[in-house]
Amino acid sequence: MSAASDLADRLHSTAIHLLRRVRREDAGAGLSAPQLSALSVIVFRDGLTLGELAHAEQVRPPTITRIVAQLEAAGLALRSRRASDKRVTIVKASAKGAKLLEEGRRRRIAVLASEVVRLTRRELADLERAADLLERLVGPRAPHPK
């Protein structure tokens, strides 16, 4: 394996373990992983079509329709029709859905922060630089809703 492949392998493994660790906090949301994932996309990309959401979640349209119906029944998402084409369904997060997602995000961040504070100043600086590089690798992302 090349040095780049070795590093990519380490990053992949570490990212998975990191997400698993913070994912434990998701139980407080009371949603399944697919529902929570879809809600996250809906909150961060408010006002997308069912097709766009299915594409983002890498599932078939019937699956996303079922998930959105569940989120809507829970009061977490809202569906409407596009004014210019009534055949197109637009999905938006409700205030309750956005709040639920933000609370989960805060719980996940708190778990990470409780571990980050144990690092030395130098390690913190290194980790900040690494985060900058990872963000550059990922590219532009949706702004965090405030």
pLDDT tens digits, 42-68: 999 978 999 999 999 999 999 999 999
Each domain of the chain, given as residue ranges in start order, spans: 3-138
Contact 6, 96 (CB under 8 A): no
Reduced to 3 states (helix: H, G, I; strand: E, B; else coil), residue 22 is helix
Instruction: Give residue 22's pLDDT.
Output: 87
CA 126, 13, 39, 80 torsion-angle sign: positive
Residue 85's SS3 state is: strand
pTM: 0.78
Question: How confident is residue 90, by pLDDT bands cut at 50, 70 and 90?
Answer: very high
Confidence of residue 145 (pLDDT cuts 50, 70, 90): very low
* Beta carbons within 10 angstroms of residue 27's beta carbon: 10
pLDDT digits (tens, 9 = 90+) for 95-105: 999 999 999 99
3-138 sits in which CATH class?
A: mainly alpha
